[in-house]
Structure 1
Amino acid sequence: MLDLKHNIPVDVAAALTQRAFDLLPQTTTALARFGDAVPAFISGYFRTWEPYRPHWNYEDGVVWKGALDLYQVTKDPVFLDYILGEMQTRVLPDGSMPTFHPQEYNIDNVNGGKILFPLYAITGEGRFRTAMDVQFAQLKDHPRTQSGNYWHKQIYPHQVWLDGLFMAQPFQTEYARITQDEALFADTVAQFRFVDHTLQRDNGLYAHGWDESRTERWADKQTGLSQNVWGRAMGWWIGALVDVYEASEGFSPSLRADIADITRRTLEALLKFRSDNGLWYQVVDQGQRDGNYEEASASLMVAYGLMKAARLSIVSETMGRTGVESLKAVCARFVTPSALNGVCGVAGLGNVPYRDGSYAYYLSEKITPNDPKGVGALMWALSEGMRTKDSL
């Protein structure tokens, strides 16, 4: 049975205030350049946000990454103070992580660990370095397919989803760098290569998931692939690629070139399916089909990928400016002072009730204003927008 219990305020202006959260004037000015409502929404969101779940989870990790991304570009202490407050009970002075449950072998649970690296660099606190080892211990024993790719979850045996590349591989690459273990980075690249070879469709986009066993009802009996290209899955994929490339600086140029090549081809394919409004659809390659809609989190993640890939010189500055245009389009269309609208709350494959990966399934999932996957992606994209040349 799916466990989707959470508390998401639909209107942050009406939600109970949990903390003071006052942006510096220069932060407000910088954010407002992407949309008049953006500063009020960001500050209101953090004033009212409660952790998505009490245990270490990927949804909170998406928001934590967004806050740290904004801190690193604005140096506004309000973002860092928020994260450090969250870490008081999640990473203890001895580096233990009482709310992290590695025995679940859920690849999503690795995502939150990405913030440990910038926190250690910023604060120098040893607890964050120790916690990296605690987090990585899950990956030492995490089950894999015969290809060497991590299972998505122990409850989803033999399955690889695009989502999982984002959850685990940037963390693994950062851990490889801090431990100087290039073989670990080579493992990351091998996992990307397999997904690129196996899940890629003729149009250059990727199926949401693959079942090595071919036993799931959603999986094609010959290929093991799911039926459709889900927007946020493509967002997770491109986010994973650019984050891994950035984190792998100093490692083998040929291995990094493989990541750059997959990134470039993915973005070129995605641009072919960008809507006239500068956005991407819930089912990416079926934009004109009845019921399909432009989805905010996917659009933000792809915009983030375009801007970051341009900053890292993987793609042209022109493509980076396209990312800025898409970010601004999302802000104009979906951001109000009290909500980020247009976000698909969740989508997956299998489980109970069964998710069959059909077009109708992806269109059936509830649109959830202020879902953390969308808000986190908004913050990643805003931080890259501020870094992009001539974006403002």
Structure 2
Amino acid sequence: MKFINDKIKILVFTILHTGIMQTSAQPAIHNKAETAKAQSGNVVPINLKWSERMLLSEMHRFPESWMLDFSKSPKWTYPSAIVLDGAEQLYAKTGKKEYYDYISSFGDKLVSEDGTILTYELEKYNIDLLNSGNVLLYLYEKEKKEKYLKALQTLRLQITGQPRTNEGSFWHKKIYPYQVWLDGLYMGMPFYAHYTKDFSKGNDAAKAYDDIIFQFDSVQKNLLDKKTGLLYHAWDESKKEAWADKESGLSPNFWGRAMGWYGMAMVDVLDYLPQNHPGRARLISYIKSFSDAIIKVQDKNSGLWYQVLDKPLENGNYEEATASAMFVYTMIKAVNKGYLPQSYKVYAKKGYHGIIKNLITVDENGVVNLNKCCAVAGLGGKPYRDGSYEYYVNEKIRSNDAKGTGPFILASIEFEKKDHQ
């Protein structure tokens, strides 16, 4: 009996002693963590400007640049290029090598030594896949690697072969015949203009610039709603798609991000279009009518824009981050470049502060999040996307989508240029 009692005593002592040790150890571990945090500082320093804070947050979330926008494996896709556009400008501004390395790693990973682009298929004629060519134009200019030149020539071949409507607008993809989407103007035209500026001469360059301006002229003619000044998401020249109006061929709604892509396309193409090109003044006039239209649907209180632009009070609609960031970027860049009068800065500023106040959250470690981003929206395909109001407001919403963080970085850079925050 004594032996059993002794065993019980030892067991009780062990349990109690272990419990005390564990309890008393917890604060020590906690203090160590606090000390380490205090010594190292935040992951993202809060004393930086918003442009760098968001870029560093993206680099923290996605340590490899191919991971941007939640890519699970290296894939040639368009959202990364928007964030990397911001990284290029911040590298030029700060000289911080980690920004350049982040851009460079995208080209290293996605382009093989023989110039083959990982996962890219030319024969699909998907205009979305031209956008990341902007990263390669930058890297070729900096590094002069032959593999980048070969890859760029492949992407330029896509433009030559891209199917077109009867009047000459690019189809969005080969699998979407006769369809022109606003998204496509951003995906293809800045790359087309930038490539032309860097590599084309004489008559070839003149033809290319005329073709680029024609793409915008055609959109203004076929996708503009004259009553509101807003532009529909897409137009089917054949009028065969279920989402297309049988008389006009237009999709049924004004999707925020579609117009956001279009606005960014215009201000970015002007960076490469020659000053004396006759289409330049036309494009600037389109930016003004575009801005006038989006100002009318800007929320008067928050300064933000809705997922479906003209139906703010309908059930399920919400203030959407990617479109809001794109509109702010378009307007503030247009003001800075002199395309819009200074008076438009008020609306851009209201939108920018609205994003920071309502859509940005900052974690304890300083990492910045952009919330309420529509993950993706399109038309047609499988399962079929019908372009209805219900379709747009029920698409997935997530935080830190590159289609929002990228434009936010770019908009922030524009505000920081003249410190009009």
Give the Cα separation in 2 of the matches to 1:48 and 1:333. Answer: 29
* TM-score for the superposition, normalised by structure 2: 0.81
1:84 maps onto 2:84 in alignment: no
Structure 2 counterparts to residues 93-132 of structure 1, below 5 A: 93-132=113-152
Aligned residue identity for 1:171 = F
Q: Which SS does the other structure have where 1:160 is aligned?
A: strand
Distance 2:347 2:94 in 1: 22
Tell whether 2:298 aligns with 1:274: yes
The residue number in structure 1 matching 2:60 is 44
Shift, 1:321, TM fit: 4.7
Aligned match of 1:192 in 211, 216, 241? Answer: 216
Q: 1:38 to 1:105 in 2, by over 3 A?
A: closer
Secondary structure, counterpart of 1:210 in structure 2:
strand
* Residue 274 of structure 2 corresponds to residue 249 of structure 1: yes
Q: Please state if 1:133 is matched with 2:153.
A: yes
Describe the SS at the equivalent of 1:165.
helix
Query: Match for 2:120: what amino acid?
Result: F
Paired residue for 2:372? 342
How far is the alpha carbon of 1:375 from its aligned partner?
1.8
Q: After the TM superposition, which of the residue ranges 93-102 and 37-46 deviates more from structure 2?
A: 37-46
Contact 1:231 1:284 in 2 (8 A): yes
Indicate yes or no: 2:415 matched with 1:385: yes
The CA distance in 2 between the partners of 1:46 and 1:195, in whole Å, is: 35
* Counterpart pick for 2:312 among 287, 292, 310: 287
Counterpart contact for 2:74–2:110, Cα < 8 Å: no
Corresponding position: 1:261 with 2:285: yes
Structure richer in helix, relative to its length: 2
Q: 2:94 aligned to 71, 74, 84, which one?
A: 74
2:361/2:370 contact within 8 Å kept:
yes
Query: C-alpha displacement at 1:371, in angstroms?
Result: 1.8
Stretch of structure 1 that moved more, 208-217 or 328-337: 328-337
Is structure 2 residue 389 aligned with structure 1 residue 359? yes
In the TM superposition, what whole-angstrom CA distance separates every residue of 1:247-282 from its partner, at most 9, and x where no partner exists? 213451x21111111111101111111112111110
Aligned AA (1:189): I
Tell me by how many angstroms 1:100 deviates: 2.3
Which secondary structure state, in structure 2, belongs to the residue aligned with residue 256 of structure 1? helix
Number of aligned pairs? 365
Alpha carbons of structure 1 residues 320 and 155: separation in structure 2 relative to 1, 3 Å: same
Instruction: Tell me the CA shift for residue 121 of structure 1.
Output: 3.0
Pair 1:120–1:317, CA change in 2 (3 A): farther
Which is greater in Rg?
A: 2
CA apart distance, 1:47? 3.6
Provide closer, same or farther for how the CA distance between residues 316 and 77 of structure 1 changes in structure 2, counting only shifts above 3 A.
farther
Aligned partners of 1:238 and 1:39: how far apart in 2? 22
Shift of 1:186: 0.5
Unaligned runs of 5+ in 1: 1-21
Q: Distance in 1 between matches of 2:99 and 2:276?
A: 31
The aligned residue for residue 177 of structure 1 is 197
Partner SS, residue 322 of structure 2: helix
Amino acid of the structure 2 residue aligned with 1:240: A
Partner of residue 153, structure 1: 173
Task: Specify the code of the residue in structure 1 equivalent to 2:218.
Answer: F
The residue type equivalent to 1:104 in the other structure is K
- What value does the CA root-mean-square deviation take over the aligned residues? 2.3
- Assess if the C-alpha contact under 8 Å between 2:74 and 2:118 holds in 1: no
Over 3 Å counting, the alpha-carbon distance change for 1:146 and 1:23 in structure 2 is farther
Q: Counterparts of 1:209-248 in structure 2 under 5 Å?
A: 209-248=234-273
